[in-house]
Amino acid sequence: MVNEEKIKSLYKDGMVNLDSIFDQELLRDLVVAKNNIFKEYPYGQDDRLNKKNKADFVRPGSYMIWDIIEKKPIFSKILENKNIKEIATRVLGQDYTVASFYIRKTPKINEKLNPHIDYQGGLSFSILLDEINHEEGETFFYKKSHKLPPPPFINIDNSKYVPSSITGNVGDTFFWFPDCWHGRNMNIKEKETTILMCHLGNSNHPSADGTGRKVNYSNKKESKNLDKRNKFLDKIFEFFGRSSNNFFTHFIYCLIYFKFDRLSKSAIHQKTIFTRHKYGDSEVDDFSVTKYLQSANYLKVFLISSKTFIKKLLGKKLISILKR
């Protein structure tokens, strides 16, 4: 059983380190499977799952393998782990969705993947498949950032924002919220490093990975009583939860989820997309509107929002013509 303090830390900080939750025999088998895959696919796959034959990147700085369970069924044992299932059920409810499940290898590269957020109201975990130290292509997080504006709208270089790198041994497992600021560090070593990543949502989250490919790793049941759902709630959370790197929609989502308690409880109860369970403690679930607004750089908010608005106003065709 997972320590309650670990669950509390996940909700407070937006991430938590579980160390290793797998037995050594399974870890050895997973590492062998990972090595065999990259022997056959040294540069990973493209988004159509085709073998890449040169050292360019489909995703910034990393070689991706998307269909690892189909290639090596041993990886499915990760999803059967009782600790994984316990945390996912606690955060997302029963019949949660495994939306994406893949491995990422990072070769020597002197560029970082800048801090960003994914979608709101979900859950992710990462497992180290190599021993990884600082500046070896590790993922980094900013604790407690899931209640702050997205990274483009703040002064992230301010000394009060300190990233935490997920380094450690093979099998070390980190759970994190996709709306917590995260990125990938440079790899200054010759050693290539690999992590497994999994993105989850509640039972109404779409089962599609980063390539758009439909996956079926969840074995979830069909949702019942769809006619009794509050479809207005579905539309609200789908719109505001998906637009996570927009300052205004992100702020409105946080207001609705944290401050409009009756509305968010109803959404969580009917497993509306982009919602996860709250921890259930007023201090942990607190959201400071003042802190959120004070963290923003409003010049960046104006410039980025104006650029986005102009792009939408002109449309893709006119923009492509103007660039010629």
Residue 212 lies in a domain: no
3 state SS of 101:
strand
Q: Tell me the average pLDDT across 138-161.
A: 93
Which domain-ending residue is among 166, 201, 236? 201
Per residue in 32-69, pLDDT (tens digit) is 999 999 999 999 999 999 999 988 888 888 999 999 99
Dist CA 127 CA 20 (whole Å): 9
State the chain's mean pLDDT as an integer.
91
pLDDT for res 220: 61
Judge if 131 and 83 occupy the same domain. yes
Q: Could you tell me what percent of the chain has a pLDDT over 70?
A: 93
120 lies in the same domain as 244: no
Asked, for residue 216, whether it belongs to a domain, the answer is no
User: Has residue 285 been placed in a domain?
Assistant: yes
Of 143, 166, 201, the position where a domain reaches its end is 201
Residues 248-260 have a mean pLDDT of 94
Residue 215, domain member (yes or no):
no
CATH code of 31's domain: 2.60.120.620
The answer on 174 and 28 residing in a single domain is yes
Q: Is the domain of 162 the same as that of 264?
A: no
Give the integer Cα–Cα distance in Å for 75 and 191: 23
Residue 144 lies in a domain: yes
166 and 238 assigned to the same domain: no
Q: Which structural domain, as residue segments, surrounds residue 12?
A: 4-201
Number of domains in the chain: 2
Q: Is the pLDDT of residue 229 over 80?
A: no
Is the pTM higher than 0.85? The answer reads: yes
Residue 209 included in any domain: no
Which helix (H) or strand (E) element contains residue 78? helix 76-79
User: Do 245 and 125 share a structural domain?
Assistant: no
The answer on pLDDT for 242 being more than 90 is no
- For residue 313, pLDDT over 90 is answered with no
Domain boundary among 139, 166, 201: 201
Res 60: pLDDT:
83
Taking the C-alpha atoms of residue 270 and residue 225, their distance in angstroms, rounded to an integer, is 10
Considering the domain architecture, whether residues 23 and 136 belong to the same structural domain is answered as: yes
- 24 and 107 in one domain? yes
Same domain? For 94 and 148 the reply is yes
Verify that 152 and 282 share a domain, yes or no: no
pLDDT at 214: 84
pLDDT of amino acid 227: 52
Nearest to 240 by CA among 254, 258, 260, 230: 254
Residues 160 and 273 placed together within one structural domain of the fold: no
d(CA 93, CA 112): 34
pLDDT band at 165 (very low <50, low <70, confident <90, very high): very high
Q: What is the pLDDT of residue 216?
A: 78
Shared domain check, 272 and 142: no
Helices (H) and strands (E) in the chain, counts: 10, 10
The 8 Å CB, 24+ separation contacts for 78-82 are 78/22, 78/30, 78/127, 78/196, 78/198, 79/198, 79/217, 81/21, 81/22
Question: Is 214 inside any structural domain?
Answer: no
pLDDT at 223: 53
The reply to whether 221 falls in a domain is no
